[in-house]
Structure 1
Amino acid sequence: MVSKVTLFFIVFGTVYFLESIGGFYMTSAVVFIEKQFQIPSKLSGTMVSAGDFAYIPVVIFTSYFGGKGNRARWIGAGCILISIANFMISSSNFLFPVEKFHVNSSYIPPTLVHQINRDLIGSANDSLWLEEVHSTIDPQNRVVSNYEGDERHDLLKKYISYCHSNKGSDICQKLEYYMGQRNVVSELDVSHVRLLTSLPYAFCHSILNTIRSDHKADECKRDQSSLGPFMMIFGGLLVLGVGRTMPFSLGLPLMDDNVKRKNLPLYFSFMFFVKILGPVIGLLVGGQLNKIYYDFNPPHGLTPLDPMWIGCWWLGFLIFGALLFGPSLALYFFPSDDLDLGKEGAEEKLLDNGEVVVKRPQRLNLVDRHVRKTSDGKVHMPVGAGEKATEFFTTVSELFRNKIFIGAMLGRIVDVLAFKGYFVFLGKYLELQFGVPQFRIQRYLASTGIVGFAIGVILGSISMKKFRLEGRKAAGWVAICSLVAASLSFVNSTVGCKSVIGLMGDQAIAKNFTFDTCRDDCGCEGMPFYPVCNKAGDVFYSPCHAGCPMGWKNYSIFDNTNNPSETLIFENCECANHGIQEVSRTFCRIEECEERFNRFFMNQAMTAVFGGLSVVPGMLIVLRAVPPEHRSISLGFNGFLVSLFATLPSPILWGKIFDMSCLMWQTSCDKKGSCSIYDTDELRVRLHIIYGCLRLFSLLSDIWVFIWAKGLKLIDEDDSKKIDQKPITIEKEKEHPETEEVSAVADRVEKVAQDLDTLIDRRGS
């Protein structure tokens, strides 16, 4: 039969695991939230920090008052809030859909519809009948006179071009009439044009691109503000921040109360392993969901390899919220043993010598056993606001006088300031630097960085128990591991590659941020960013800039059964300039980037291992540096300052660093949206140098802790736990040994008091 303690830790571990998924899953979602709602990185960094806006003012009070109550109920309530927050974040996709506007038959003149479809099919028969009515439509030959070297088979195209700049003229009205008489525009014809104007790439076709630009201008007349989804996600993260205050600050002391000290490193390593396994699962799930388009209906030709792909980020929040709600509710209503101090469930055994051995089952301490209690065994709670405030601020002032606690806390602040925002935007950086799709990046982050960190945590806890790292030994261990991890982080500043985005950035700088085409009649200005390469690896901003006409090799946009693939090839592209005039996304050379991408993650794995080695010793230093009754408030106050000065500004800081390296912004209705092209070399150096310097700066606090940590006990068993957990042996019809021990101690204390009184009387006389 499973004991209550074991059952509790199963439920608690499940909740702790599911809660840990959401925070890191956000790192795989933020890049797609930017694209879907057109939010710049600095603003998305502010959005990610929303959890800390709520965490900061709440964490101290929840850790202080939660530590005096049923901690399981507090943790369960916090995780229920996290579940609700996940539902709120996911709902932004449904409450604020990115509406798609499509052209209709009344939007495009029939002549344009017919011309576009004629160019796609490649037939020139329509010019034959036009030659017969040419004199009727244009008796003064005004259209033909505008063109030198006229060729009669291209007469219709000349009429269409003329009417583009002379709308409403009598020539164009007559042309519309004859076109309507000869060719009735069907719904299928309009659907072809509708599809062509909604593709994620543009062809070299001035008429079609003009329609696309005009249609986009009409879309901008509608309200498409990103404020709604931003506030919904921001609000969800605020609720998540409130819920996140409880599992960590209350969970560690709860485990400390129910586990022997000598086993704490292993239990803590397991707890951190669960905490790390959550992000691994989150990143792997994010990688799989990123293969799915956010509305399950990707535009033709758009694949996860393309910069404009938007993964199904919202589905993960929906799944994790649903999974977390049930176990959190079970934890909230979990029964406590704290008031059950009798012999219920105890086993008695009569020995041959007449003694009775009573072995009580292990108790589950959900209320902190170190808090002050009244004479009847109840937790002491201050009466009135004044007494509560006095006791609270007295506790906080004691923490500020603790040199080890202050040093460890300052080091954690700098470490989190460096790591939090860096990791949030790491997936985006890798996509820009190496041209690798997000679903692969999330798998690599899970299998190297996170798993490496988990291995480091486990090795660190085993080493701590094996080598009995106490006091300065533990502090020195933390300092050395931090130094190695910081040094390794500088290495990644030298590992870079010219991905497609990097090549486009070089091209933008060289051409003063203009992307020309070899044909003047393509109308590529304002067309969507869809980089393609020729066989030589030369990159073009889009198929339009490569001079590609409508139609492409072995592919039909009108075949609904043809799924988008990475083998999309555009043919007859006049600007390709390399034998076969074909361009494709798959022609872009990535072999060198693949090799360097793998090298980056090998170094990242080593950095993660050394980073994990110091986690358990560092946490035990914080936990043991304060009196036992102040553990929850110390962790809460630590979380308060870390959030205020690290996790809150960190994503904003790193988002700003990314934006500083942006070369070209997307614009949506004359408003700045997300960045499309970066200076990847500048971004690589700036990112890793700043990160490494921050990690080195935190080393100063590790040295400070080393100076003051002499004699600090971390894993030695304390007497209170030995007495609390050992079997109780009593003689028949006699009191418990604990009672006898307490009585003996009381007698000794009374004797000492009498001796002191006698000494004082003698001094007075």
Structure 2
Amino acid sequence: MGPRIGPVGEEPQMPDKDTKAMKGTDDTPGGKASPDAQDLQPSVFHSIKFFVLCHSLLQLSQLMISGYLKSSISTVEKRFGLSSQTSGLLAAFNEVGNTILIVFVSYFGSRVHRPRLIGCGAILVVLAGLLMTFPHFISEPYRYDRTSSGDMSQDFKASLCLPTTLVPAPAASNSSCSSHTEVKHLTVVGIMFMAQTLLGVGAVPIQPFGISYIDDFAHSNNSPLYLGILFAVTLMGPGLAFGLGSVMLRLYVDIDRMPEGGISLTPKDPRWVGAWWLGFLVSAGAVALAAIPYFFFPKEMPTEKHELRFRRRVLAVASKDEDSPSEQSPGEPPEKQVLGQIAPDLTVIQFIKVFPRVLLRTLRHPIFLLVVLSQVCLSCAVAGMATFLSKFLERQFSITASYANMFIGCLSIPTAIMGIAMGGILVKCLHLSPLRCSALCLLGTLFCLLFKLPLFFMGCPTHQIAGITPQSDSQPGLELFPGCMEPCSCPSDDFNPVCDPSTHVEYLTPCHAGCTNQVAQAALNKSQVFYTNCSCVTGGGPVQAGSCDSTCSHLVLPFILLMSLGGVMASLTHTPSFMLILRGVKKEDKALAVGIQFMLLRVLAWMPSPVIHGSAIDTTCVHWAWSCGRRAVCRYYDNDLLRNRFIGLQFFFSMGSLACFALIWAILRQQDKEERTKVASSGLQQQLLESRPEKKPEESRV
């Protein structure tokens, strides 16, 4: 087995450590105990209730800044020409730094000044939020047309069908594809990846150290209440992130440097880009304010009043036996006891030696492994949904990014929180055994699948786009380069969609529709633009600026309701599955088992899932924008294929979770049968033993 890990003689020193923690504020310099901790009039920073309030606000702000990118993912793609696979990788990079460092949090434990380290982590989160806004300030103003930034009067004329002699030379567009432009693009993308990594690193100490600090210095009866309040407030963070995204994306991206003549776009225009960067500034400011109190909290604070009285009695008894050898279980070797309190008293080398052994021992437990696999499947579905649901709703139902975020923030996330709360209430009130916990998880996952099944049939068909989507009837002028637009010399990289209201056909630009003139009409305090003299449109036009309206946008609300109900059922399994882990592993491995669980969820679910969903979305693209010879953002998707693949991934991961919970239920049911058989056989043996004593006295006399 090798040398013993950690001296056994360290056990008796634990009461000393507790004594110092308890006597730090209660003992006078002379060594006499003060009458009561309340008489010292401690500051507000010595109150665990104030720490719970501060930590709730900090975790709320930290999750708000972490979730804000997901609310503006499609806008970031449009602004910087990113594919969904790249944006999914960007969202996953939040977990990279977190996963690398989270294991060592269990090693540091209470050795460090936890409040101060939480404050330092919050500062890193603030710096990451500010770094995310940096690409906006180093980039040129957003150009949604082919005109120069100083010639805004040519906004609509740039996309008109003009004679070849009046069209600018194609070298003008190619000149933008210089090496400097490509380097600038890579720099911007690199900065965002760096910011996401830094965001994950800064979040490492916040939750674990905060929870352990509350549990150490709160009254044993109040600790669950404080943690429940903490989790309830924290879960509001993602909802506020999507609500913030809904507000910010209504503002134009260059609101800080608007051109003199203003802009002619509206949020409904497919070229619209909202102020994605402004939400990071607001979230970073909230985190900075919430981080200030942590530099004033002490390393150790007095526990709550009722707990102090109880602990004093315990310490008085412990001080009498201080010189006696440490109490050990006769059947357990010292090495196993060190594994039980794995982090506090080991050096880094000892911790690294012990960790793989406990990891392998924990992973060999069938219930633990199956529960983690089921949670990995559910987390894959949740991670993909959280990252790309907003974009999916935009593309599928032709709604704005602001509107999609409002639906998610107001319906999907609150119902998921309600599902988690319902699961905890059922486990507590019904006193569910592990077998019944697995049955509850099985039913929750099954109903989640049933609610998601109709989503395959709720969506909008793809717009008829001239030259891109196949047409059901052979209308003239719908091929890629029809003869009607030959004299126009339309640029291939331009994007200014127009819609023919009579046929509901969409064209990439007015030039592709053969339009030679544009007219602005005022209606309902808005200026609506029409293009006329369109040679590729039946009757010559007019066509309306912007994409065609969706014919089934009314389905977005039923879609979100069914999705939210499925989320409630999936969230219902959160608490019961945790109880299966806590009741399934050995007592000395519980703390580390939870840490291993979170590590595996990050590595197997939260990191790869956004990339998998983004790659699946990219495969449904039917028209890409190109920039400097590389694929940039997707202009149009095949809506039916997008819906089948996106919902199909959700269905696939939910099926995997259902299969794992079914195996868990079968194993626990078999174990329950074996235990009942043992109890019945032991009962029969006891009855036989009880029936013999009548004969024994006679035999003994003989």
Q: TM-score, normalised by structure 2?
A: 0.75
How far 1:249 moved relative to its partner? 4.2
Distance 1:514 1:19, change over 3 A: same
After superposition, where does 1:213-228 map in structure 2 within 5 Å?
213-221=170-178, 223-225=180-182, 226-228=185-187
SS at match of 1:667: strand
After superposition, where does 1:190-201 map in structure 2 within 5 Å?
194-195=151-152
Distance 1:538 1:618, change over 3 A: same
After superposition, where does 1:70-81 map in structure 2 within 5 Å?
70-81=113-124
Which stretch has the larger CA shift, 523-532 or 703-712?
A: 703-712
Distance 2:166 2:565 in 1: 50
SS at match of 1:588: coil
Which stretch has the larger CA shift, 253-262 or 224-233?
A: 253-262
How far 1:259 moved relative to its partner? 7.0
Q: Which of 231, 241, 248 is the equivalent residue of 1:282?
A: 241
How far 1:251 moved relative to its partner? 4.7
Q: Which of 321, 328, 332 is the equivalent residue of 2:291?
A: 328
State whether structure 2 residue 79 is matched by structure 1 residue 36: yes
How far 1:266 moved relative to its partner? 6.6
Tell me what 2:373 maps to: 410
Distance 1:471 1:55 in 2: 31
How far 1:14 moved relative to its partner? 0.6
> C-alpha deviations, 1:679-735, integer Å up to 9, x for none?
1111111111222011111123223443566899xxxxxxxxxxxxxxxxxxxxxxx
After superposition, where does 1:233-382 map in structure 2 within 5 Å?
233-252=192-211, 270-296=229-255, 297=258, 300-337=263-300, 340=302, 380-382=344-346
Q: Which amino acid aligns with 2:543?
A: V
Distance 1:544 1:305 in 2: 21
Q: Which amino acid aligns with 1:453?
A: A
Tell me what 2:494 maps to: 528
8 Å contact from structure 2 (residues 66, 199) kept in 1: no
Tell me what 2:531 maps to: 570
Distance 1:92 1:81 in 2: 18
How far 1:282 moved relative to its partner? 0.6
Q: Which of 41, 46, 53 is the equivalent residue of 2:89?
A: 46
State whether structure 2 residue 474 is matched by structure 1 residue 492: no
State whether structure 2 residue 553 is matched by structure 1 residue 588: no
8 Å contact from structure 1 (residues 476, 706) kept in 2: yes
Tell me what 2:697 maps to: none
Distance 1:515 1:596 in 2: 35
Tell me what 2:699 maps to: none
SS at match of 1:472: helix
How far 1:513 moved relative to its partner? 7.6
Distance 1:262 1:473 in 2: 26
Tell me what 1:692 maps to: 651
Distance 1:406 1:528 in 2: 52
> C-alpha deviations, 1:324-345, integer Å up to 9, x for none?
023224235422446x589899
Q: Which amino acid aligns with 1:595?
A: H
Q: Which amino acid aligns with 2:538?
A: N
8 Å contact from structure 2 (residues 68, 242) kept in 1: yes
Tell me what 2:626 maps to: 667
Q: Which amino acid aligns with 1:321?
A: A
Q: Which of 556, 559, 569 is the equivalent residue of 1:597?
A: 556
Tell me what 1:15 maps to: 58
Distance 1:512 1:575 in 2: 8
Q: Which amino acid aligns with 2:442?
A: A
Gaps of 5+ in 2: 1-40, 316-335, 672-702
Which stretch has the larger CA shift, 73-82 or 261-270?
A: 261-270
> C-alpha deviations, 1:44-92, integer Å up to 9, x for none?
2222221222222211112332366554444433333222211111112
Tell me what 1:153 maps to: none
Distance 1:389 1:16, change over 3 A: same
8 Å contact from structure 2 (residues 466, 480) kept in 1: no
SS at match of 2:552: helix
Aligned Cα root-mean-square deviation (Å) = 4.0
State whether structure 2 residue 189 is matched by structure 1 residue 230: yes
Q: Which amino acid aligns with 2:652?
A: C
Tell me what 2:6 maps to: none
After superposition, where does 1:615-654 map in structure 2 within 5 Å?
615-626=574-585, 630-654=589-613
Tell me what 1:86 maps to: 129
| % same residue | 23
Q: Which amino acid aligns with 2:190?
A: M
Q: Which of 514, 521, 544 is the equivalent residue of 1:547?
A: 514
Distance 1:709 1:242, change over 3 A: farther
Which stretch has the larger CA shift, 264-273 or 319-328?
A: 264-273
Q: Report the structure number with the largest CA radius of gyration.
A: 1
How far 1:433 moved relative to its partner? 1.1
Q: Which amino acid aligns with 1:210?
A: V
The alignment of Structure 1 onto Structure 2 pairs a total of residues equal to 596
State whether structure 2 residue 412 is matched by structure 1 residue 449: yes
Distance 2:50 2:223 in 1: 19
How far 1:427 moved relative to its partner? 1.4
How far 1:216 moved relative to its partner? 1.6
8 Å contact from structure 2 (residues 55, 230) kept in 1: no
Which stretch has the larger CA shift, 442-451 or 298-307?
A: 298-307
Distance 2:79 2:136 in 1: 9
Q: Which amino acid aligns with 2:529?
A: L
Distance 1:482 1:103 in 2: 50
Distance 2:73 2:304 in 1: 53
Q: Which amino acid aligns with 1:554?
A: Q
Q: Which amino acid aligns with 1:506?
A: T
State whether structure 2 residue 384 is matched by structure 1 residue 425: no
How far 1:276 moved relative to its partner? 2.7
Distance 1:35 1:667 in 2: 12
Q: Which amino acid aligns with 1:291?
A: R
Distance 1:620 1:317, change over 3 A: farther
Distance 1:208 1:272 in 2: 66
8 Å contact from structure 1 (residues 302, 309) kept in 2: yes
How far 1:449 moved relative to its partner? 0.9
State whether structure 2 residue 484 is matched by structure 1 residue 518: yes
> C-alpha deviations, 1:220-271, integer Å up to 9, x for none?
2362122101110101111112223334444555555567888888766544
Q: Which amino acid aligns with 1:382?
A: L
